[in-house]
Amino acid sequence: MIFYKIQIDENKQKQAFFSYRDMTNGKDSVEITRAIPLDLIGEQEPKILELVSGDIVSVYYEERNQKVVSEAKTIYEDSTTLDESTIEYLKALAHRACLEEEFDELLAPPSVDQQVEDFIKEFFEDGEISNIDNDKPLEQKDFLAEFFAELEEDSDN
């Protein structure tokens, strides 16, 4: 028996949660879980964003033993049962997320280059960083040489 639990929350947490546990061997099996930001997984899996579009703000599916809970909630707190094709899609997605670890690269911290780029964008206005984006080589300054030159000038006076 396989346990699935999938929740896509577009309204509050903006996350897609996946849980998978193969309980064929009994209670010794380990539950594998992933929580992925909805905007990031949506870039690779646009269908997941379609599931929570319009009035629908969350999708929930859980399968444990013979008990199955499936619903799509609207912003008005109404809920409807998921159709079979959606359920199969969600189960396949949970398998890809938990077992194949297909979306784990989305959870990796940003590279140093990306962090520097984000820092520059945060502290400089658009006009100020426009020169950085073109192909002109940037002017390099030797601040240490300038510092010692100023010290030398001060000591001469």
Domain boundaries, the chain: 2-107, 112-156
Mean pLDDT across 10-15: 92
Please tell me the predicted confidence (pLDDT) of residue 127.
52
Instruction: Quote the pLDDT of residue 129.
Output: 52
Mean pLDDT for the chain overall: 86
Evaluate if residue 115 carries a pLDDT over 60.
yes
Rounded Cα distance between 30 and 22, Å, is 8
Q: Give per-residue pLDDT as tens, 100-110.
A: 999 998 888 87
The residue-averaged pLDDT of 149-157 equals: 83
Look up residue 106 and give its two tokens: 């989305």
Average pLDDT over residues 8-14: 93
Q: Check if the beta carbon of residue 21 is closer than 8 Å to that of residue 30.
A: yes
* 66 vs 127, higher pLDDT: 66
Long-range CB contacts (within 8 A, 24+) of 105-114: 106/36, 106/37, 106/40, 106/41, 106/44, 107/34, 107/36
Of the two residues 22 and 138, the one the predictor is more confident about is 22
